[in-house]
A and B are shown apart, each in its own frame.
Chain A
């Protein structure tokens, strides 16, 4: 069974000065997958995320999205001598788009510590995410020559809020929502950019068991409804084991294991990384 490949990360290394945060990390996401990335604190999970979303340009490696290379880099300048990772010289191009361009290509994300536009309304939060695909320019937008498009953006945002059950809060200030709803709004906002791949950074952080059960259902549901592939970082083992079909484990920036939830649970290396071993 071969599914269409959505994201392929090859040999990505991220080195800050002398510190290798992510070392030679490779992974794949196929269409419709829900993939998890776990690891102890400081393992480099969020750094890996940031490489994919363009916040950092990786020091070495390549990232392909829908079969197209979107990020590629190789150690250059000062990094040439400092570089401690592997596969130096395998990649030659330097492509490093900014996060907004990556979002435009179809990769949306949420943040570990919620980053809503907190003094704007719930509706505006979603509406802003519709800005990137609009065909207007500053002149037509100012003089309201784009009212058809504006209307469409508003309708789509409203529809999305309704689907996410947030429509009754649409005029509330986003920062005043309860925590769980803020998380949900952040996901709704990411969905508003029409992504093909959704990256969730610790979506269950701060949730109680019941809420995270609901979240599990919710993640499956948006995957099916919006035809998405999902890649998530999570500490909450119950959620990861319950929802992910394939899991990668990072420790000290190195991939120590991958496989389905059962394999991961029984992998001695993973147990060692999480619990330590008796010596």
Chain B
């Protein structure tokens, strides 16, 4: 797509702009025609590509796992069941190793996080121009195919995890216990404001770090793919192939880190300090 009519910076910003639908002050409810229009829509706008791709991948994940779960057998497993079981056992081992309380939500939550984020990250390995090009031919101007390069997607999940942290903290320790934990340590009752400040920062850092770590890694990876795509087509593979192979590690690792940190945070919500 790096043709003469499009400059490099236009190409890059085009690839980093979501397909946003929202209420524009001038155009009313419409798809944004530029990054600036999308920004002018403010909060009441939705990134159609992020939502579409993430839901499609989530449906793919639930459909595949549900298909296996419906025909699951305790006897000799087929190859698909074997594959799914490997993932489930991997997640289950991690949950059991970190989280020692009884909770029916944590394991499926971790599985969803791991597989869903992995699938969303995997979209990064699709050559950066393919889907935007097809979408462009179909009249859609912007198409960001990796949902995890949209901070909304990662923050949405991180905030959900944050809500669960608060919920389980209060459920396990009571509201008073939770507030006491925030107020009376690490330095005792006399230093209450200091303690509160410290603990609140620590608490808020959890969702922020979850969201930004995943977003930052994927955004940076995507950016590098876009930069490589600016090279002449006959030399792109020299850089894109090694970067893609390295990225296989990154996408798995980021999904894994998000999952493990979620389990750790929820285990901390359960534990009394």
A pairs with B: no
Residue numbers of B with Cβ under 8 A of A are none
| A residues at B contact (CB < 8 Å) | none
